[in-house]
Each structure stands twice: as C-alpha cells, then as structure tokens.
Amino acid sequence: MKVKEVIKNLGHLDPEAEIVHAWWDKDCFPDVADKDWDWAVDVVDSKMDWSNAHTDIEVTMQYVLESEQAGYIDKGLKDNDKV
C-alpha cells in the first residue's frame, strides 16, 4: 500500500482519536530485493489474511487489561516497555 493511500484512508478520523496502527517498510525485510519490493507489497496487501494480526492485537489488549486489573502492570507503561 502506498503512504498516500494510508493517509487518504485515515483522513476521515478525528486526529485526536486513538487507533491501533502498524506498518513495516523495506528496512524490516532485508532479504527482499529492492527490485521485488513493490510487487511483493502489492501481493501481501491484496492476498494476505490479516485476521490473525487482528487476533494477535486483540489477545494482547485483553492480556494488558486483565493484567492491569489484577495489579500486575499499571497504566504508567512507557512506549518502550513490552508486555
């Protein structure tokens, strides 16, 4: 997906709204040749089943909320802290 498409897709949202957003650029895939990058991204964007990514995010959110409720973690987590 091109960055301009992401910007267009997000343009209707309140700029102050919190969302879950993830992206990976070419630097994250050093084994993909530059000449193949655009084609590979297009295939992944159109063919990949993203439901597992959603499930992973949902499970992590549930874990965080349950852990916070149980007192194992607090809402003072910093951006670099992992759960």
- pLDDT tens digit at each of 83 positions of the chain: 899 999 999 999 999 999 998 889 999 999 999 999 999 999 998 998 888 998 999 999 999 889 888 888 777 766 666 66
Q: Which amino acid is at 58?
A: E
Predicted local confidence at residue 82, as pLDDT: 67
Strand runs (DSSP E) across 2-42, as ranges?
A: none
pTM: 0.61
Predicted local confidence at residue 22, as pLDDT: 86
